[in-house]
A and B are shown apart, each in its own frame.
Chain A
């Protein structure tokens, strides 16, 4: 936030409070006022600043008359939401890798949303605040790749206890591909 400071004695109204904290390293010009900050090798004035018309002409000449046209932003894929599953509860929501929720009771399915709501918080913060209904389950690389099935009995137990299970690898949330025997041959 910029604040304008005007004091009775000050000659200059500054637009940012950062100036007073400026500590320039040796050899670098610091911000300030007065003759002390005038460059010792000040040259004679060269010209007036450029006008809009002059700049437009200069730019057109350089671009050969083909100025780049501004267009709406392009989607490239691998965007945050496209690759994420979103959990929301209360005032917070968090982003998890897509497919990392391996078990979810029907009653809590409404907490998996398509767009984040409220404040988006980091995963650790969301987990800490919602430990009463979220657990993490460590999985193996083979299960991540869909080459080994997940322990269904364990997941059923978690579901019946009303808990959402998130797959983690070495402590970090990870996508788990659905198990398919076809994956083994690849």
Chain B
């Protein structure tokens, strides 16, 4: 096996500190045996010099221990969504890390459900003969990390470079000649919107692809296929990962991956009004229960005269307007008060709950509607007479 020896660099920031909760694992094959080297990380950004890379390459894995202080619900700035970025340059023997948001995204990592304690957040394989791959997932929602709704398609792009059939001047090539693309999923709990802590609800899909040539490959509309009872209420994430085989035993190392979160379609119910019923006055105690509102959405109730007719713009009830711009779906219960401001003369009225999301060019979609009849005047038919 050809060996490339690089001068060993001094490790930066590797002095073990009491606060280090994460580590990078460097694995490489020397004399056909795996050598493992664990580098602790303290801090959230910076660079770490790895152990000398020898042989044909190395696998770098970034593990993070769940840290109680960094629970996702305590992070105020949800724009800290930069996925862990670990750049490894083979020639400089340096691993550049941008760990901002590592704890927010800790639930997005972990490909092996049996990883105990620490979660694998990122993995990268580098080597002389290793191809470079880049997987990107895009959604109509421009939020980062990528997310989409259960009913909306997302785009996929894979670019492969430096995949060699047989390098010139090397008689026995034992490096990878193909990239295997796999699609994996992880289900979230439908109420907490988080993956389970014991690794259940994960799996792969039956479709896997192999690429043997360099190039760019894309599929602009992929629908999520999470195994949920109702397709519109699927909650979880899907990952496209590119793997190469690194040794004769068939161990696969990841060269690139991208994950997209899937949030369910919102639903609403209107309580306090019976559909089609006649009311003598404005119905009191009307409320709407909203479930799984999209993290970036504006939801409101409107009322208009006439039977239900999707597309009608009515009187928007001010106290029902609810806007969210956050990182997970929301639930709410909103009383519908001051409905009478939208009611003029007697007749049939329709009340609708609508929501706007980044999808469908932010056109509002009707979540629920009910129609009722208002008849506030009483006609008394009678006569006055006397009887002897």
Chain A residues near B (Cβ < 8 Å)? 1-2, 11-19, 21-25, 28-35, 37-39, 42-52, 55-56, 58-59, 62-63, 66-81, 83-84, 93, 95-100, 115-116, 119-125, 127-128, 141, 144-146, 169-175, 177, 183, 186
Q: Are the C-beta atoms of A18 and B232 separated by less than 8 Å?
A: no
Q: How would you classify the secondary structure of chain A's contact residues: helix, strand, loop or mixed?
A: loop
Question: What is the CA–CA distance of A69 and B221 in the complex, to the nearest angstrom?
Answer: 18
- B234-272 interface code vs A (CB 8 A; 1 in, 0 out): 000000000100100111111000000000011100000
Most chain A Cβ neighbours within 10 Å, of B22, B298, B324, B355: B324
Q: Are the C-beta atoms of A31 and B324 separated by less than 8 Å?
A: yes
Q: Are the C-beta atoms of B362 and A44 separated by less than 8 Å?
A: no
Closest chain A residue to B238 by CB distance? A68
Instruction: Give B102-142 interface residues, CB cut-off 8 Å to A.
Output: 111-118, 120
Q: Are the C-beta atoms of A38 and B59 separated by less than 8 Å?
A: no
A116 CB to closest chain B CB (Å) equals: 5
Closest chain B residue to A147 by CB distance? B31
Q: Are the C-beta atoms of A76 and B334 separated by less than 8 Å?
A: no
Question: What is the CA–CA distance of A145 and B184 in the complex, to the nearest angstrom?
Answer: 36
Which residues of the other chain, A, contact B21 by a CB distance below 8 angstroms? 122
Is residue B162 contacting chain A, with contact meaning CB distance below 8 A?
A: no
Q: Are the C-beta atoms of A174 and B51 separated by less than 8 Å?
A: yes
Q: A74's contact among B116, B204, B207, B267, by CB below 8 Å, is which?
A: B204
Which residues of the other chain, A, contact B355 by a CB distance below 8 angstroms? 49
5 smallest CB-CB distances across A and B, nearest first, come from A120-B117, A77-B251, A97-B36, A46-B363, A37-B323
Given A120-B117, A145-B31, A175-B36: A47 and B310 interface contact (C-beta under 8 Å): yes
Q: Are the C-beta atoms of A172 and B40 separated by less than 8 Å?
A: yes
Chain B interface, number of residues (Cβ within 8 angstroms): 117
Question: What is the CA–CA distance of A162 and B321 in the complex, to the nearest angstrom?
Answer: 69
Q: Are the C-beta atoms of B364 and A42 separated by less than 8 Å?
A: yes
Is residue B156 contacting chain A, with contact meaning CB distance below 8 A?
A: no
Q: Are the C-beta atoms of A73 and B230 separated by less than 8 Å?
A: no
Question: What is the CA–CA distance of A125 and B76 in the complex, to the nearest angstrom?
Answer: 28
Question: What is the CA–CA distance of A171 and B167 in the complex, to the nearest angstrom?
Answer: 38
Q: Are the C-beta atoms of A29 and B325 separated by less than 8 Å?
A: yes
Q: Are the C-beta atoms of B326 and A18 separated by less than 8 Å?
A: yes
A186 CB to closest chain B CB (Å) equals: 6
Closest chain A residue to B355 by CB distance? A49
Question: What is the CA–CA distance of A58 and B243 in the complex, to the nearest angstrom?
Answer: 30
Most chain A Cβ neighbours within 10 Å, of B17, B231, B253, B296: B231
Is residue B349 contacting chain A, with contact meaning CB distance below 8 A?
A: no
Q: Are the C-beta atoms of B8 and A141 separated by less than 8 Å?
A: yes
Which residues of the other chain, A, contact B362 by a CB distance below 8 angstroms? 39, 43
Q: B37's contact among A35, A97, A115, A125, by CB below 8 Å, is which?
A: A97
Question: What is the CA–CA distance of A93 and B116 in the complex, to the nearest angstrom?
Answer: 11
Q: B118's contact among A25, A58, A95, by CB below 8 Å, is which?
A: A95
Is residue B307 contacting chain A, with contact meaning CB distance below 8 A?
A: no
Closest chain A residue to B361 by CB distance? A43
A114 CB to closest chain B CB (Å) equals: 11
Q: Are the C-beta atoms of B326 and A19 separated by less than 8 Å?
A: yes
A104 CB to closest chain B CB (Å) equals: 18
Q: Are the C-beta atoms of A177 and B325 separated by less than 8 Å?
A: no
Q: A80's contact among B34, B116, B205, by CB below 8 Å, is which?
A: B116
Is residue B335 contacting chain A, with contact meaning CB distance below 8 A?
A: yes
Is residue B188 contacting chain A, with contact meaning CB distance below 8 A?
A: no
Which residues of the other chain, A, contact B215 by a CB distance below 8 angstroms? none
Question: What is the CA–CA distance of A22 and B78 in the complex, to the nearest angstrom?
Answer: 8
A134 CB to closest chain B CB (Å) equals: 13
Instruction: Give B29-61 interface residues, CB cut-off 8 Å to A.
Output: 30-31, 33-40, 51-52, 54, 59, 61
